[in-house]
Structure 1
Amino acid sequence: MNLDGKVCIITGGARGIGRKIVETMAEAGAKAVYALDMAFDGFDEVTKALPNVKSESADVTKSDAVKTVVEKIWEAEGRIDVLVNNAGITRDNLIQKMSDDDWNAVISVNLTGVFNLTREIGPRMMNQGSGSIINMASIVGEVGNVGQSNYAATKGGVISMAKTWAKEFARKGAQVRSNAIAPGFIRTPMTEKMPQKVLDAMVGKTTLGRMGEPEDIANAALFLASDASSFITGQVLSVNGGLTL
């Protein structure tokens, strides 16, 4: 699989799964891979090693900021071929203990942020006649999880939006594809904050008997971004080691 000549944008691209997706797509020959994030601590080593990687600071919850950065990239590159809506946060608690701030923060980043980017980029892809939109969902968006009402709502939402956009942006013959990836439990800074007993329980229920690694998700994103998946749209690719069967 290769991304020769393609221009890619990955939100939340400075760390964790997002960073691995940036590196994987750059190594696959993309013309340019833009990592969008709020902070880029330690990201210099990526841009030094991979000259086709670029960084842009952007708050995905702010529609004006998103519009500005997308227009900047479009002016520089003349096209956008891949959008990975990866930026996300958690603010977990049982619903009776979940504050308005915790609810609104997760909705703003994980759902509104995805909407903001795709509203700017999806129509451009449609006009250019092709593109791949990839929403980062979660196993939690498929089956739910105690203490994650806000997170589950957003991840279920991005699955529904991916299916909607598969229909919306393919009108008039445009080869714009929209899919979602639903990771299981992946070894990232986010899961490192979870109690070990919870992680051990999840590994115990996983058919392959281990947590996933960021490259497992990055490889799935590479597949959906590449022409190897040219007849796949409106789908959810569950990468969870057999946690759900």
Structure 2
Amino acid sequence: MRLSGKTAVITGGSRGLGRAIAERYLQEGARVVCAARNPYDIKEVLDLAPGRCAYVPVDVTSDESVTALMDEAVERFGGIDILVANAGVSRDGRVDRLPVADWQDMVTTNLTGVFLCTRAAVPHLERSGAGRIVNVSSSMATRVAIGAAGYCATKAAVEMFTKVSAIELAPRGILVNSLAPGILDEGMGRQLTGNDRIWSRYKTRLALGRPGHADEAADAAVFLAGPESCYVNGHVLEVNGGLLWS
């Protein structure tokens, strides 16, 4: 129960990796606010820990919506100790064909969303005395993927934002780190592993010969939010099974 007594806000927390992190945080004793545009089948998560989990709708691209999310989390559970900025989108397209609307969607969700959540959470995390921010990035932040310029660029920006935030917020008792998953069998990764033609090319790049499980990345998110990482700050933790990329 490494997170017992802690309250975590997880954006994009109703499915995929965000949901897996929410479930692991609940298992570790935390109170969890799953925030997302859509609830999907969130009742299954709520039923895991009645009274310790709540769903709150949010649009991470809206300053007002994000501020309301943090206020509701505090009203429900008395404070915020952990922010997991996980909400993100991916839009495929080479740079000469990528629609401007798709580019802007990735920038506002993947990057501006992290900024807005961080800014809104800081006053509450500071009162915690042991505040943690975990920004979810991707192994593609540091690797070239044809047709994924927007996603790669925004995730690279998230990692630099994490490092700057870590320096600025450390005097306020807030640690900021980034979790960078590789290819998982959940969320966006499931689309890749479910396409035999594409997966046949990508699976040879994995040293372990398989995609990662969402639970394996969620375990790393527990570490970054828990007491064992009390001297880890401004770090990008890759969980990719040994991802080989040319």
Q: TM-score, normalised by structure 1?
A: 0.94
Alpha-carbon distance in structure 2 between the residues aligned to 1:204 and 1:91: 24
> Contact 2:81–2:128 at 8 Å: present in 1 too?
no
**CA distance in structure 2 between the aligned counterparts of 1:141 and 1:114, rounded to whole angstroms:** 15
Partner of 1:191: 189
* 1:61 corresponds to: 61
> Does the aligned pair in 2 maintain the 1:12–1:37 contact within 8 Å?
yes
Which structure 1 residue ranges, 5 or more long, are not aligned? none
1:15 corresponds to 2:19: no
What secondary structure sits across from 1:35 in the alignment?
Answer: strand
Find the residue that maps to 2:132 and give its secondary structure.
strand
**Deviation at residue 128 of structure 1 after TM alignment:** 3.9
Alignment partner, residue 230 of structure 1: 230
State how far apart, in whole Å, the 1-side matches of 2:23 and 2:112 are.
26
Distance, in Å, in 2 between the alignment partners of 1:223 and 1:64 is: 31
- What letter corresponds to residue 227 of structure 1 in structure 2? P
Summarize the alignment of residues 16-35 of structure 1 with structure 2, pairs less than 5 Å apart: 16-30=16-30, 32-35=31-34
Please state how far the C-alpha of 1:244 moved relative to its aligned partner: 4.2
- Quote how far apart the aligned CAs of 1:141 are: 0.5
Helix, strand or coil at the partner of 1:147:
coil
Do residues 161 (structure 1) and 161 (structure 2) align?
Answer: yes
Partner residue of 1:125? Answer: 125
The 2-side partners of 1:236 and 1:156 are apart by 11
Cα deviation for residue 69 of structure 1 reads 1.6
CA distance in 2: counterparts of 1:162 and 1:197, whole angstroms: 35
Unaligned runs of 5+ in 2: none
1:114 corresponds to which residue? 114
Give the counterpart letter for 2:201 in structure 1. A
Query: Which SS does the other structure have where 1:91 is aligned?
Result: coil
Letter in 2 for 1:18: G
Which residue matches 2:144? 144
Secondary structure of 2:4's aligned partner = coil
**Matches of residues 204-243 of structure 1 in structure 2 within 5 Å?**
204-243=204-243
Measured in 2, the distance between the counterparts of 1:126 and 1:244 equals 39
Q: Give the TM-score of the pair, scaled to structure 2.
A: 0.94
Distance 1:131 1:223 in 2: 14
Residue 47 of structure 2 aligns with which residue? Answer: 48
Task: Kindly indicate whether the alpha-carbon contact (under 8 Å) linking 1:186 and 1:214 is maintained by their aligned counterparts in 2.
Answer: yes
- Is contact 1:141–1:152 with CA below 8 Å preserved after alignment? yes
Letter of the structure 1 residue corresponding to residue 17 of structure 2: I
Offset of 1:191 from its aligned partner? 2.3
AA aligned to 2:63 is S
Q: Give a deviation string over 1:154-205, Cα, whole Å, max 9, x none.
A: 100110111111111112xx33110001111101132233343332322211
- State which drifts further: 185-194 or 3-12: 185-194
| Cα distance in 1 between the residues matched to 2:145 and 2:119 | 29
Question: Percent identity between the aligned chains?
Answer: 35
Say whether the 8 Å CA contact 1:123–1:169 is kept in structure 2.
no
CA displacement at 1:5 relative to structure 2: 0.4
Aligned CA RMSD, in angstroms, stands at 1.5
The whole-number CA distance in structure 1 between the counterparts of 2:8 and 2:128 is 15
- The answer as to whether partners of 1:126 and 1:170 remain within 8 angstroms in 2 is no
Output the CA distance in 1 between the equivalents of 2:223 and 2:109.
25
Contact residue 13 and residue 86 of structure 1 kept, 8 A: yes
